[in-house]
Amino acid sequence: MTGAPAQEAEIGRFSPGGFPGAPGLPPGGGAWAPPGHVAGECAVSASGARPAEGPCTSPAPSPPGTSHPPAASAPGPCTPPAASAPGPDGSGAWRARLKLFFAAEGARTVLARTERFGPLAVQRVFYPEGPAPDGILPCEAYALHPPGGLVTGDVLEAEAECGPGAKALVTSPAAAKFYRAKGSCGFQSQSFRGRAAGPGAELEHLPPEAIVFSGARALQEATYEVSDGGSLIAWGTVLLGRAAAGEAFERGSYRETLRVFRDGRLALFERLDVAGFLEGGGSGVLASPLGLASRPVVSSFLALGPESPGVAARLSGALAALRDVGSAGGGEGYPEFRGATLRDGILVARSAGGCVQAAERYNRAAWALVRPALLGREAAHPRIWRT
């Protein structure tokens, strides 16, 4: 991967350009990487000392075009089981998979094929917007998970692919919830793979936040592939603990991995690895002033499109406007730490704070600026967000 070297950033603060001195930070590796959130190499242990988890290793990036993403790797000796038949097993765990294939037929996007396995489903697609600039009508799809949360042993895998000309927004009606795990080797895993393949292909993956209960051992993976002139907008937010209930994330772990491929080339690889406040003597990434500084809400936004001077210029304009978001009024209503960069044609914005609503406000502000610049359409909130 090529790109400009990471800019210098003030240690312990959120600022564009990456975390200085982070091992293996690749050139152009995104916006912000606290200790434990390392792009390109193995994440630093979130607690500083977890002898039961063995040496830290970085998995090889999954190749583009793979039908199913590799199962998320669990810390230590625990290994996620392969997906099995739908329905609860002896431990009450669910394995589920959902694959969505969007195609342009005539003058609109259709859900051409669906494959499902277990408690993940899409009932139908909606058409709340007018046609895109190329005349194709985009659609919205809502991924449903009736159980409402993940318990020990649950493995959920979702995929969405937009073919040439197809334009789809995929979201969900409710937050993902990772409940307290059973035992030191229990875990819950959720992964998403999105593809925008071909001219005019546009995929937007805009899920609600993920809530990680204290004591959970949660794994999340997102892999995005953009090729042959496709475009992608995605975001993700995680809340560690339940602030509204007065519950801090005292025990357990959360690992998040993000991979972005452009035309078969790995363009972005990041990992966030966090342990609870009381793990490792309370010296981990979550509590450290050089890490999240006790900010339990972490969020990211990314966008990329065809590699062309016109797209780059429009994203540069959106980036300049995004950096001004929240500047009026001293940033009230927005996350305490926020920043954005544009490198190698990938716009990345990150935030850390104490409020899910503030992170959501920042992501939606980014979407409102980036969507017209990249897709030529104004941001139109899915109606499920208003229910």
* pLDDT tens series, the chain, 387 aa: 333 333 222 222 222 222 222 222 233 333 333 333 333 322 323 333 323 333 323 333 444 444 343 333 333 444 444 443 444 444 568 899 999 999 999 999 999 999 999 999 998 999 999 999 999 999 999 999 999 899 999 999 999 999 999 999 999 999 999 999 987 677 899 999 999 999 999 999 999 999 999 999 999 999 999 999 999 999 999 999 998 888 999 999 999 999 999 999 999 999 999 988 877 666 578 888 888 889 999 999 999 999 999 999 999 999 999 999 988 766 789 999 999 999 999 999 999 999 999 999 999 999 999 999 999 999 999 989 887
In what helix (H) or strand (E) does residue 291 lie, and over which residues does it extend?
Answer: none
Q: What is the pLDDT of residue 284?
A: 78
Task: Quickly list H helices, the chain.
Answer: 309-322, 356-375
Question: Looking at the domain assignment, is residue 202 inside a domain?
Answer: yes
Question: Looking at the domain assignment, is residue 33 inside a domain?
Answer: no
Question: Looking at the domain assignment, is residue 12 inside a domain?
Answer: no
d(CA 230, CA 89): 39
Question: Looking at the domain assignment, is residue 365 inside a domain?
Answer: yes
Question: Looking at the domain assignment, is residue 73 inside a domain?
Answer: no
Structure-derived torsion over alpha carbons of residues 120, 126, 131, 137, reported in degrees to the nearest 10 = 50
Question: Looking at the domain assignment, is residue 379 inside a domain?
Answer: yes
Q: Is 129 exposed, middle or buried (0-12, 13-18, 19+ CB in 10 A)?
A: middle
Q: What is the pLDDT of residue 99?
A: 98
Q: What is the pLDDT of residue 123?
A: 85
d(CA 247, CA 249): 7
What is the pTM for the complete model shown?
Answer: 0.78
Q: What is the pLDDT of residue 285?
A: 85
Question: Looking at the domain assignment, is residue 153 inside a domain?
Answer: yes
Tokens 């450290």 belong to 288
Contact (CB, 8 A) for 321 and 362: no
Q: What is the pLDDT of residue 280?
A: 62
Number of domains in the chain: 1
d(CA 313, CA 183): 51
The domain of 255 spans 98-386
Strand-strand pairing, 95-105 and 155-162 = parallel
Contact (CB, 8 A) for 109 and 166: yes
Question: Looking at the domain assignment, is residue 238 inside a domain?
Answer: yes
